[in-house]
Structure 1
């Protein structure tokens, strides 16, 4: 499994560093219900999607440079995937953050709004992005190698950052929406401390039995490797649907203490607790407001959660905490034609998996761990589900080449009826 491939846009530079939102330059004239690729969705049906699009770059500013003009092949492929699936609300993981939201604007203008390989343009009126923990120096020796690295880009820097990244904002996130986002109700949880989660699986040194992190580190270490966001979207005049977005760390690239396995488990647990009123009292957001989601609120949990409920290196309960939650409709099991085809052709670790390969969302291949179900779009119970799929076309089908070029992850979408 890869290490991790991983504003509301501000109207002024001062707001861009915090939570901000702004309409894109043009209203959506494509991607609505009944447009090509929409699957014939009727009125009142909203398509939510998550896509780890691998729009990350090795150097700060690299993504803005690549998106500043049309022609980047990988960005074209990612845009084609979006155009062929036509989500109404889309979370993109592994999208490098910049404080002015320039990359998010450029991807819309130069890629999504231009036809890609015969797919119709799609325009999102609203966008949201905010700072993440990846590549932010912690000031501590978090990998316990005897040195503390605080210079971005220096060897070992990412392992000592709050979330792995070569520079602040690498592997960030962005939300695109055709519908208004309730600016004042957005909540982010980037600075929530891991140690403030009751019963947190903070790692221990297996040789000594002592805490892996020092007391000083535990007082500062954040739970989110990127961030956790509650972004309310208003598809109509009724109640909003809360998009609960995250991208937990992969449960790998650690040592015998399994610190990343533990962190992935607890990052996934966070939203399982957030939607459960009886368990969310300990939670606080970046503005200091306490508690979780209001009882009865409608939500969609989305993101590359980096854990498969049956296979791979993760904690066996990491995503089951969500799938088995009484507030989450864990019966939603999107499939594709391409995933079982790929598993059969690649063999290797895939042949040893116990999970249904049709549910896989990521093509990790060989060596271990093989292909896995790690990307999720999970609705709250009571939010009527119309359809759900993984966009992993069989070889030779429309969009198959773009899906393979864009990322080792595949877009997952969910249609719900909002009333």
Structure 2
């Protein structure tokens, strides 16, 4: 991940305190030989949690397209990449695991073109593709990636379905980012339906950053609500353990928030999810968000605006 030494130290401390068996990280810059991820893994080990296995693939974020992807008449800007980024590999995803990862069995859907997704909700302005037909011809669906990663547990593989969806704002009336976010989430419903080949029927976990709350804020909420209601999945509704006062301006309970964007941002939202398959038993879940004065509060605040979301699972 990018950040100063103090932030990386905070990230390592938070992960070590949670001590997960498997964790998906967001916002980790990618390099071909995973030197940066390996260095982060070593820092976490120094803080007290060892992960023998690391995994990452090149993200779409920052990947050049050669097209004017935002329609402003200029080429080569961060907004002209497959997803906004200053350089290729910026802000990718990564997995740390105590258990082996079956790299040969990974399915990477990150190259799927948005136009090739069944029922793609592509942006259109005045009946014409936005920003233009050549841009949509190369536009990938995934802003970062869509991966299916088998993790080999002692009693067999667990498939980790992970992603990081586009932020559904920072666009115009064409709602390009909102539509893309919606389809990035809808991808998983189609995947479980078998639209992209055989999907696991059991022992899987959908985990990632949706950048969308079910009932708050901008965005198209239908695809997320469909996932949360899908009988093949279960929503443990992780919440922070520390008491948090209700906000009279919000209908949602802030105890379930997973991020806080300071002003002028929207504040707290639930945007990060862990949804186990229905056959798995949920023993406990939570959002690591200590109250002021509690242990780790300062480290959690320094690590990220997003909080660590965790779920303890068992086979039924």
TM-score scaled by structure 2? Answer: 0.95
**Which of 303, 313, 320 is residue 218 of structure 2 equivalent to?**
313
Counterparts of 1:132 and 1:223, CA distance in 2: 12
Counterparts of 2:293 and 2:206, CA distance in 1: 31
Higher relative contact order (CA 8 A, sep 6+): 1
Q: How does 1:249-398 map to 2 (within 5 A)?
A: 249-277=166-194, 280=195, 283=196, 291-294=197-200, 296-330=201-235, 332-338=236-242, 340-341=244-245, 351-398=248-295
Match in the other structure for 1:114: 46
Match in the other structure for 2:10: 77
Is the CA contact (8 Å cut-off) linking 2:130 and 2:136 kept in structure 1?
A: no
Cα drift, residue 371 of structure 1: 0.8
Counterparts of 1:201 and 1:134, CA distance in 2: 20
TM-score scaled by structure 1? Answer: 0.73
When residues 323 and 385 of structure 1 are mapped into structure 2, their CA distance, relative to the original with a 3 A threshold, is same
Match in the other structure for 2:2: 56
Counterparts of 1:229 and 1:256, CA distance in 2: 30
Cα drift, residue 215 of structure 1: 2.5
Q: Residue 311 of structure 2 aligns to a residue in which SS?
A: strand
**Which of 170, 188, 192 is residue 90 of structure 2 equivalent to?**
170
Q: Residue 149 of structure 2 aligns to a residue in which SS?
A: strand
When residues 163 and 138 of structure 1 are mapped into structure 2, their CA distance, relative to the original with a 3 A threshold, is same
Per mean C-alpha deviation after superposition, the further-off stretch among 195-204 and 167-176 is 195-204
Counterparts of 2:180 and 2:198, CA distance in 1: 20
Larger radius of gyration: 1
Structure 2: stretches of 5+ with no match in the other structure: none
Structure 1: stretches of 5+ with no match in the other structure: 1-54, 58-65, 67-71, 116-120, 150-156, 284-290, 345-349
Q: Residue 301 of structure 2 aligns to a residue in which SS?
A: helix
Match in the other structure for 2:112: 192
Structure 1 residue ranges (4+ consecutive) displaced by more than 4 angstroms after TM superposition: none
Q: Residue 297 of structure 1 aligns to a residue in which SS?
A: coil
Match in the other structure for 2:141: 223
**Which of 150, 154, 174 is residue 232 of structure 1 equivalent to?**
150
Counterparts of 1:261 and 1:101, CA distance in 2: 32
Aligned length: 316
User: Between Structure 1 and Structure 2, which shows a larger proportion of strand residues?
Assistant: 2
Cα drift, residue 98 of structure 1: 0.7
